[in-house]
Amino acid sequence: MDKLKLGVIGFGNMGSSHVRNVVAGKAKLVTITAICDIKEDRRQAAKEEFADIPVFETAEELYKSGLCEAVIIAVPHFDHPSLAIKAFDAGLHVITEKPAGVYTKQVLEMNEAAEKSGKVFGIMYNQRTNPVYAKIRELIQRGELGTIKRVQWTITDWYRCQAYHDSAAWRSTWATEGGGALINQNPHQLDLWQWMFGMPSKIMSFMSFGKYHNIEVEDDVTAYMEYDNGMTGVYITSTGEAPGTNRLEIACDMGTIIVEKNKIHFRRNEISEREFERTRTIPFGKPEVWECEIPVGSNSQPEHMIILDNYAKAVKEGTDMLAPGKEGINGLTISNAMHYSAFTGKWADLKNFPHDEFYELLSEKIKTSKPKTTVKEVVSDTTGTY
């Protein structure tokens, strides 16, 4: 198939990383045909590094150029939906960086525009290509774990110092980022949560705002989730702990799964706990346990490039996507629900989430948000992350 002609909206950390990887041949089915950025210094940097790729000042100019079949949107979070909607209106396919947006109301509008356009809509949930989480999902869908009872994910290795928050004007305020650790560091994990375990029915959460940093948004979160089938979940995240932890624990009928340091350890019951409970006639005892290391594969491409090639095939050949853009609403709903619960002190109902009420609550935060008076220049940032 012919390579997908892709335009890049935003030449910051992620946008420039995508361009470099594609130009280096790490994506097999994509070619970069245009770049845009509203900042002159970034446009100049793009022109100097990629002299053969046309560079535009605005997304609208790029959309009208006729150089692209699709665009990837890699700009600060608030602008993802509006730029996607304009691209759909211009007859372009769209893949957006995470998160889908800042609040569900705007993402619902983006999903509706995508549906009406008939164009292919994707999202850069590259962690869905991680062999560890893909294996967990496979085990769940095959029924290997039996009924899942409880999930706990402690992910506190997102450590960020104050210099990080001071490195850009848009970081870590309600007005320009729309949140903190949840909207910035955690969209991939919240997507993986619902991708593996499904959507919870309700959430109660507790947050600290500026507990470890001089910021107005959350940097410490503990959330409790309930599911209609009886499963419960606890999600803990922070940007103020070092060295921090990344440990996913799944309690299920067939034992306990522990995911840590990119390894899957399965403390597997010989028989289901529910079967053991029904048939055991002696008061004490547990099922026999087998200690198992579950093998996982490896990727031959960078995760982002796997998503781009998969997306290109969907555009060109109509194949299924690993990360459909319409699914971006799911992880964002979990994120917004956690904020909603923390703001109100009430349970958040995800089956009937109050999109308008949450938007009003966030708008009040935005009205009182304080702009940054100083921004420190980042000398070097090669992490490729927001």
CA atoms within 13 A on the CB side of 133: 21
Query: Residues 260, 266, 272, 273: is their CA dihedral positive or negative?
Result: negative
CA-to-CA separations, 168 to 20, 78, 158, 171, in angstroms, rounded: 22, 15, 18, 6
Q: Rounded CA gap, 65 and 59, in Å?
A: 10
Q: Rounded CA gap, 210 and 253, in Å?
A: 40
| CATH assignment of 128-295+331-367, among 3.10.20.30, 2.60.40.1120, 3.30.360.10, 3.20.20.10 | 3.30.360.10
Per-residue pLDDT tens listing for the chain (386 residues): 899 999 999 999 999 999 999 999 999 999 999 999 999 999 999 999 999 999 999 999 999 999 999 999 999 999 999 999 999 999 999 999 999 999 999 999 999 999 999 999 999 999 999 999 999 999 999 999 999 999 999 999 999 999 999 998 889 999 999 999 999 999 999 999 999 999 999 999 999 999 999 999 999 999 999 999 999 999 999 999 999 999 999 999 999 999 999 999 999 999 999 999 999 999 999 999 999 999 999 999 999 999 999 999 999 999 999 999 999 999 999 999 999 999 999 999 999 999 999 999 999 999 999 987 766 544 333 333 33
Domains in the chain: boundaries:
4-124+303-324, 128-295+331-367
pTM score > 0.85 for this model?
yes
Which amino acid, residue 99?
Answer: P
Which alpha helices (DSSP H) does 208-354 contain, by range?
273-279, 303-317, 328-344
Superfamily covering domain 4-124+303-324? NAD(P)-binding Rossmann-like Domain (3.40.50.720)
